[in-house]
Amino acid sequence: MTAVAVREPGTPAVFGRAAAAEWLRLRTVRTTWWCLLAAAVTIVGIGVIMAYDADDVYATGELPPATAAGEFGVMLGQFALLVLVLLAVTQEYASGAITPTLQWTPRRGLLLAARLTVPVLAATAAGVLLALTADITAWLIADLPFSPGDVADSLGRVAAVLLAGGALAVGVGLLLRSTAGALATVFLLQLVLPFLLPAFGVQWMADLGELLPGTGAIWMLLGEPDMTAGQATALLVGWAALAVGLGGASLLRRDAG
């Protein structure tokens, strides 16, 4: 009896299947749509509020650009999008579904790539679209300065913040394997500690706050605190790479439980 050689699928095919499964799971759970709704309300809502307050700003002779609406909105609305990313990573650990997932995709490196790519890109695309909507809304309401160059620059910075934040969320989620723990960690690193530590008036706390990923995000969106674009980029990329490295090692080496 002649044995028939079975050809295993190549890396692109396995990654494509894993990515398709991640996309199917992401778009068919209700929490994804609730997170997107929360992000839309926050980002566009802040844009509308800023537009209606523009008359007060205009009285001082400092009319803000329309792109400020999307940037301020994303500063807070990003957390709804990060919850979306975190749930895509951690839900299977809570339900126990991670075991069959690893059986169906035993090449964990490709599963990591798919799990990093699909939710992060989806959240980033949604955030950029919502920021643009907020910018256009502010422009229509208050006739704020609006130019293609400013919009492109603003949306590029928004995308950078969301990509780095999403990668950070994936890494922390894979490392902690807990939605609550990962959400608290990301929330502290991205928003609470960068604002809280300098408020104590202690120099070493202020210096520590400037090393957190949220400080880079704040600079990208609001132009604060005093640092360069290179320093802000290094914070975002460095923390994202560290989180993905630790979380990826956890996925590759630890048992499913």
Q: What mean pLDDT comes out for the span 110-120?
A: 92
**pLDDT average, residue stretch 43-62:** 75
Residue type, 233: T
**pLDDT of 102 strictly over 60:** yes
pLDDT more than 70, % of the chain: 92
Shortest CA distance to 78 belongs to which of 220, 249, 241? 220
pLDDT band at 60 (very low <50, low <70, confident <90, very high): low
pTM, rounded to two decimals: 0.90
At residue 12 the predicted structure's pLDDT band, cuts being 50, 70 and 90, is: confident
Cβ atoms within 10 Å of 252's Cβ, excluding its own: 12
CB of 231 closer than 8 Å to CB of 207? no
Long-range contact list for 92-100, CB < 8 A, 24+ apart? 93/177, 93/178, 94/178, 94/179, 98/256, 99/256, 99/257
For the residues of 220-237, what is the DSSP string, one character each?
Answer: HHH--SS--HHHHHHHHH
Q: Compute the mean pLDDT over every residue in the chain, rounded to the nearest whole number.
A: 88
